[in-house]
Structure 1
Amino acid sequence: MTTRAWWLVVLNFVLPGSAQVLAGNRRLGRFGLGATLTLITAAIIAGAVYLLWPAVVLTVFTSTIGLWAAAAVLAFYAVTWLVLTLNTLSLIRLGRAAPGARPVIAAFSTALMVVVCGTAGYGAFVATSASEFLSSVFVAGPSEPPVDGRYNILLLGGDAGADREGLRPDSLSVVSIDATTGQATTISLPRNLEDAPFSAGSSLGALYPEGYGSIDGCDVSACMLNSIFTEAELKRPEYYPNAVTEGSSPGIQATLEAAQGITGLTIQYFVLIDMQGFSDLIDALGGVDIDVHNRVPVHTDETFTKVLFWFEPGMQHMDGYHALWFARSRHGTSDYDRMQRQTQMQEALLAQASPANVLTKFQGVAAAGSRVVKTDVPQGMLGYFVNLASKTKELPVISVPLIPENGVDPENPDYSAIQAMIAAALAPAPTATPAP
């Protein structure tokens, strides 16, 4: 009877329903076997489709319907496995097993039940939470096709926080991604660029046809690139009456048009990252590893003058608070140094935010993510972009900082030269001509 008990416990775990078919209620066993084989078949089909067309599977499991369907299936199997396990415990007749084996068999069966049913139940919980999180961050809308084989995304780092009023784009960059290979190029835009041009058809560009503030100044204190956000948001929101309903804002839309004018690229989407939420996101992921190249100070106040301590050169593991200061620090440094550190931080997060890490810490990531990100990327594009990101992680990120060292004078920029520099960086690598 002890051997029989062990066989039934193992069979219930390996092939739920088989224990009942052999030694119990065959109707329940057939139901359990049918459910188990259906799940195995569905998993094999999903795995085969993922190998051939990964974007299809990722699209299904990043959609609201797909996630709720997955949650329902997981909840169903959690209940089914619970019923089958409890029934198996009644079939093994512990009272007739060897006295020393009884507690071991009971504990092992209970542990398997908790692991299997608990995993399925937690999976259902994660699926519903993921659906709510994705719906709160991403928008419902049509997808945009790549332009010249690329997706271009405006990345804005906002400096809102507990100690600040309003929000200004403290960090601006355009991430250009090859739609086939996933090769990413980061174009860092100095926030103090002057005379920024706007793309054709820009509402604010009609007011500044020769560039932002180049003729009679602008309507805010400093006519620089990051001031465009403030002017459109606070002074001229009527120029962008549909921005909010389309998931954007006047400031974001005007800044996007300026970024298009500067780079010469068509930008399909934007992502606005709040700096305080950015700190929470890094904490949720367990911190980030950064190779500090030069001493960087951490300050004690918002004037960025009093130094609390310094990051010394070398590898550092930073929590959110310290990572935020590393990216924002100004004392004894320049905006261009900050741009490089911010790009370095973005690349480090991309490399370290693995699917396994995100999944195991999902609750914290979702809570931070809903506060950190505002974007107009449609939810229907997530599967495609997740698949593309898996390719991006395997390739080095190309950096194109628009800084004086690269010949860019922020006070008198040559935008034709800037666009030529960007076009050269995005040009496909020449292929070797085979020898005759």
Structure 2
Amino acid sequence: MTSVANPIRYPNTGSSQVMTRRGWWLIVLNFLIPGSPQVLAGNRRLGRFGLATTLLLWALLVALLVTYLFWPATVFTLFSTTISLWLVAFVLAFYAVVWVVLALDTLRLVRLVRTAPFARVWIAGLTTVLMIGLSGTAAYGVYLATTASGFLSSVFVAGPSDPPIDGKYNILLLGGDAGPDREGLRPDSISVVSVDAETGQAVMIGLPRNLEHVPFSEGSPLAAVYPEGYGAIDGCEVDACMLNSIYTEVELKSPDMYPNAVHEGSEPGIEAMRDAAQGVTGLQIQYYALIDMQGFLDLIDALGGVDINVPEDVPIHADETFTTVAEWIPAGEQHLDGYHALWYARSRHDTSDYDRMARQRQLQEAVLKQFNPTNVLSKFQDIAKAGAQVVKTDVPQGMLGYFVNLAMKTKELPIQTVELVPDNGVDPEDPDYEYIRQLVNQAVYPPSPEPTPAG
């Protein structure tokens, strides 16, 4: 009577057909509801433990999904802090071990020798595949979590979060180009990105590297040294008194102007550039990101290349003098690897700095679009390795989840650009900074549309 009432626990072991059918059921149940085969046919204590862990995991996943649907920034924050990532790694490692134990115990309960000979290999094979699929996925999750934790620790600082200013987050982006003929790094790409803290609408302001007489924000130590603007009165401490020389001068000649910079996750030269960008734009800048342009090559390769609509043929130079052309990047839709993308951004032959600025902005937007969950997860190791070498920033880890959520909004909106170039009425050799701040203010804080009169 017992075997009839419960053929899974008390099967007819003399019937290979019954044992084969039972075996398939146990294997499938172990995949769908780990722990259930033990409750039905084996050690009920182990089975209850397996079921409890399974139900707990389902509850966690449902809670995570609901949180993501209503409060996505919370989920991004959870997966962007070192402590939480190590906790995730521990949980996944635990489940990887549990699933291996349950799969092997399920295979024991099947009693392969009692199943039909033709089915034994298939049952054992399916069990192995499903076990590797479940536990292997969890183990890969452990790898991703620990790798991400190391990456975040190496790039992002621990510190307090800054609130938005007038509803905006303003970030200084510096593209560093430390060529072999240069003393130290000199930022060749200088931008300020202003992002609306609610909508994610971004305005990218391009600052020419050759701006002269640059003013500094109030209270800056450089404002006391250059009250009329950088190099406006008696020159400066380096050869060319232009915007991108400020980093070099402070970093090499007077780092003591910013004694707390390194402790706060920055550098004296970066803080000098922040003061200069604030003086030029009139915006208060909360954070910075310095991107090594040579390392940018590795990041683009890690992403699998980048898609660019090239407006006209762009030369690749054969030497550092930027005069001899080795090859051309042809006009049209192009998929560029890191090497060609870097040259697309920095090429100088028969072109102007303002053309380069436009190409750099275009490349920055294209790379932003390449960052999607599928791309990042599939190439995470290479991206994390490249990113740790490419980026230096003072964005705190605690803000990363919020900014990831904001960046997803930004990707869905057209990025507004303001280039401080002659075509926009800006003369880099004799700039009108009041006019520049007016341009910036109109773009960052556009006037609200006039209400349409009723009737």
Alignment TM class, shorter chain as reference: over 0.9
Q: Supply the distance in 2 between the matched residues of 1:163 and 1:419 (Cα, whole angstroms).
A: 34
Q: Supply the distance in 2 between the matched residues of 1:429 and 1:134 (Cα, whole angstroms).
A: 38
Deviation at 1:160, TM superposition (A): 2.2
| AA at the equivalent of 1:19 | P
Q: Could you tell me which runs of 5 or more consecutive residues in structure 2 were left unpaired when the two chains were aligned.
A: 1-18
Q: Find the partner of 1:193 among 204, 211, 215.
A: 211
Equivalent position of 2:248 in the other structure: 230
What is the identity percentage for the equivalent residue pairs of Structure 1 and Structure 2?
Answer: 67
List per-residue Cα deviations over 1:155-199 (Å, max 9, x = no partner). 000002577652110100001100000011110000000000000
Task: After superposing the two structures, state which structure 1 stretch, 224-233 or 51-60, moved more.
Answer: 51-60
Q: Report if aligned partners of 1:186, 1:398 keep a CA contact under 8 Å in 2.
A: yes
Deviation at 1:435, TM superposition (A): 5.3
Describe the shift of the 1:165–1:25 C-alpha distance in structure 2 as closer, same or farther (beyond 3 A).
farther
Equivalent position of 1:382 in the other structure: 400
After TM superposition, list the pairs within 5 Å mapping 1:239-278 onto structure 2.
239-278=257-296
After TM superposition, list the pairs within 5 Å mapping 1:404-415 onto structure 2.
404-415=422-433
| AA at the equivalent of 2:81 | S
1:50 aligns with 2:68: yes
Task: After superposing the two structures, state which structure 1 stretch, 12-21 or 53-62, moved more.
Answer: 53-62
Secondary structure of the residue aligned to 2:174 is strand
Q: Find the partner of 1:11 among 7, 29, 35.
A: 29
Q: Could you tell me which runs of 5 or more consecutive residues in structure 1 were left unpaired when the two chains were aligned.
A: none
Secondary structure of the residue aligned to 1:101 is helix
Equivalent position of 1:402 in the other structure: 420
Equivalent position of 1:333 in the other structure: 351
1:62 aligns with 2:80: yes
Structure whose alpha-carbon radius of gyration is higher? 2
Deviation at 1:432, TM superposition (A): 6.1
Q: Supply the distance in 1 between the matched residues of 2:447 and 2:406 (Cα, whole angstroms).
A: 19
Describe the shift of the 1:432–1:42 C-alpha distance in structure 2 as closer, same or farther (beyond 3 A).
farther
| AA at the equivalent of 1:267 | I
List per-residue Cα deviations over 1:214-251 (Å, max 9, x = no partner). 11111110000001101111111111111111111111
Q: Find the partner of 1:98 among 102, 116, 133.
A: 116
After TM superposition, list the pairs within 5 Å mapping 1:15-30 onto structure 2.
15-30=33-48
Q: Supply the distance in 2 between the matched residues of 1:434 and 1:295 (Cα, whole angstroms).
A: 46
| AA at the equivalent of 1:120 | A
Query: TM (normalized to structure 1)?
Result: 0.98
Q: Report if aligned partners of 1:161, 1:275 keep a CA contact under 8 Å in 2.
A: no
Equivalent position of 1:86 in the other structure: 104
Q: Supply the distance in 2 between the matched residues of 1:287 and 1:162 (Cα, whole angstroms).
A: 26
What stretches of structure 1 move > 6 A for 4+ residues in a row? none
List per-residue Cα deviations over 1:277-309 (Å, max 9, x = no partner). 100111111111111001100111111111011
| AA at the equivalent of 2:293 | M
Deviation at 1:62, TM superposition (A): 0.6
Deviation at 1:46, TM superposition (A): 1.4
Equivalent position of 1:300 in the other structure: 318
Q: Find the partner of 2:91 among 64, 73, 79.
A: 73
Q: Find the partner of 1:122 among 140, 143, 147.
A: 140
1:180 aligns with 2:210: no
Task: After superposing the two structures, state which structure 1 stretch, 423-432 or 110-119, moved more.
Answer: 423-432
Describe the shift of the 1:172–1:5 C-alpha distance in structure 2 as closer, same or farther (beyond 3 A).
same
Secondary structure of the residue aligned to 1:374 is strand
Secondary structure of the residue aligned to 1:134 is helix
Q: Report if aligned partners of 1:198, 1:211 keep a CA contact under 8 Å in 2.
A: yes
Q: Supply the distance in 1 between the matched residues of 2:323 and 2:210 (Cα, whole angstroms).
A: 20
Q: Find the partner of 2:161 among 143, 153, 166.
A: 143
Q: Supply the distance in 2 between the matched residues of 1:413 and 1:132 (Cα, whole angstroms).
A: 44
Equivalent position of 1:313 in the other structure: 331
Q: Supply the distance in 1 between the matched residues of 2:198 and 2:318 (Cα, whole angstroms).
A: 46
After TM superposition, list the pairs within 5 Å mapping 1:214-225 onto structure 2.
214-225=232-243
Q: Find the partner of 1:368 among 372, 386, 391.
A: 386
Task: After superposing the two structures, state which structure 1 stretch, 97-106 or 139-148, moved more.
Answer: 97-106
Secondary structure of the residue aligned to 2:237 is coil
Task: After superposing the two structures, state which structure 1 stretch, 42-51 or 205-214, moved more.
Answer: 42-51
Equivalent position of 1:421 in the other structure: 439
Describe the shift of the 1:202–1:117 C-alpha distance in structure 2 as closer, same or farther (beyond 3 A).
same
Q: Supply the distance in 2 between the matched residues of 1:279 and 1:166 (Cα, whole angstroms).
A: 20
RMSD: 1.2
Equivalent position of 1:344 in the other structure: 362
Secondary structure of the residue aligned to 2:118 is coil
List per-residue Cα deviations over 1:354-398 (Å, max 9, x = no partner). 122111111111111111000000011001000101100100111
Q: Supply the distance in 1 between the matched residues of 2:309 and 2:227 (Cα, whole angstroms).
A: 43
Deviation at 1:431, TM superposition (A): 4.4
Query: TM (normalized to structure 2)?
Result: 0.94
Deviation at 1:109, TM superposition (A): 1.1
